[in-house]
Amino acid sequence: AIRMTQSPSSLSASTGDRVTITCRASQGISSYLAWYQQKPGKAPKLLIYAASTLQSGVPSRFSGSGSGTDFTLTISCLQSEDFATYYCQQYYSYPPITFGGGTKVEIK
């Protein structure tokens, strides 16, 4: 199975900061990568698919990049509603689908 490694596992940031989260695949996955945001007590929300395509309705301050094994999710100007946990997910090799371990974005 392809292993997805996210870093950092948590970070503290302030409103207005630029935040970057990294996801690394244990083997090449082309651009078959999705990013999700999850808030406590809620189901995950799809932010980005195909590594860089913004899901409809998601604010443009979110962006994704990368291909192959290395990917990033960037929040250009952190808003209060962005404090949450973020997960990457590969869908290049199925089954199984695999998720990264998550990155918790907390208020500094």
Partner 1 sequence: EVQLVESGGGLVQPGRSLRLSCAASGFTFDDYAMHWVRQAPGKGLEWVSGISWNSGSIGYADSVKGRFTISRDNAKNSLYLQMNSLRAEDTALYYCAKESDGGEYFQHWGQGTLVTVSS
Under the binding rule (CB under 8 A), the answer on residue 102 touching partner 1 is: yes
Q: Which of 5, 7, 54, 99 lies at the binding interface for partner 1 (CB under 8 A)? A: 99
Choices 20-28, 63-71, 74-82, 89-97 (CB under 8 A): range interacting with partner 1: 89-97
Sheet with 19-25, strands from edge to edge, namely 4-7, 19-25, 70-75, 62-67
Q: Which of 13, 50, 67, 83 lies at the binding interface for partner 1 (CB under 8 A)? A: 50
> Torsion over CA of 90, 91, 92 and 97, rounded to 10 degrees?
80
Q: What mask, x for binding partner 1 by CB under 8 A, covers residues 17 to 46?
A: ---------------x-x-x-x----xx-x
Q: Based on C-alpha coordinates, what's the Rg of the chain?
A: 13
Number of residues assigned to the chain: 108
